[in-house]
Amino acid sequence: MKKSLANRSVKYLFILLLILIICIIIVFLVSKSSNYKKQIIFFEEYLKNNYTLDEATIREFVTVFEILYNEFPYVTEYVYPIELLAIGIVETNFENLKGDRGESLGYFQIQAPTYWYLKHNYPEFYQKINFYEPWYWDIVKERADVQLMTSVLYLYDIKLRYGEEDAYSIYNGGSETYKDKILLRLSILENTFKKFNRR
């Protein structure tokens, strides 16, 4: 009888512990999801308050993050809007331009070979934003959504293949100086994001 009572107590304790673990996991996932959504809003507000980008361009950026969040959530576990904000600031200060003697294009300075690699390996992302064109300036300069999606996929792919630690330097050809600039900008943006969240 005592043994049966002890087994039953252990069983109830185990079930209670299991329920507690499930609740903690749910709270963690909801909080992570909420943080991503807040970063999308922060990204949008930061651009509106600090740059002269037109409303349509900002809307295209936001739409990409929403597509990722709703349809490709596994990408949002690796790449965050605040990281792309830092990259856009460091790369071009959010100017839509050609860099590296015309080799790098757009706000996030993506080169054609990178785009073709990503388009080949992640075609469903480009299909989702209806982009089936080559990586030419006359086409790409009008598609802020394509530029952002390509940058997100590039950072995502780098993190999967090489890990978090070297992702920023690899994004810019292995430059440690670039990595330091991104980390500094991220630190500034994260502090601004904390203040933004307290409003």
Task: Report residue 99's pLDDT band, with 50, 70 and 90 as the boundaries.
Answer: confident
Asked if the structure places residue 7 within a domain, the reply is: no
Asked whether residue 143 is assigned to any structural domain, the reply reads: yes
Predicted confidence at residue 91, as pLDDT, reads 96
Residue 12: inside a domain: no
- Enter the pTM of the model: 0.82
Which pLDDT tens digit goes with each residue over 119-148? 999 999 999 999 999 999 899 999 999 999
The per-residue DSSP string of the chain comes to: -HHHHHHHHHHHHHHHHHHHHHHHHHHHHHHHHHHHHHHHHHHHHHHHHH----HHHHHHHHHHHHHHHHH-HHHHTT--HHHHHHHHHHHHSS---EETTTTEETTTTEEHHHHHHHHHH-HHHHHHTT------HHHHTT-HHHHHHHHHHHHHHHHHHH-STTHHHHHTTT-HHHHHHHHHHHHHHHHHHHHHHH-
pLDDT digits (tens, 9 = 90+) for 19-76: 555 544 444 444 444 899 999 999 999 999 999 999 999 999 999 999 999 999 999 9
The CATH number of whichever domain residue 194 belongs to comes to: 1.10.530.10
* Within-domain flag for 22: no
Residue 137 lies in a domain: yes
- The predicted-structure confidence for 83-92, as pLDDT tens digits, reads as follows 999 999 999 9
Residue 46: domain span:
40-198
Q: Classify residue 180: in a domain, yes or no.
A: yes
Q: How many domains does the chain have?
A: 1
Evaluate whether residue 191 is within a structural domain.
yes
Quick one: pLDDT at residue 52? 95
Does residue 105 sit within a domain?
yes
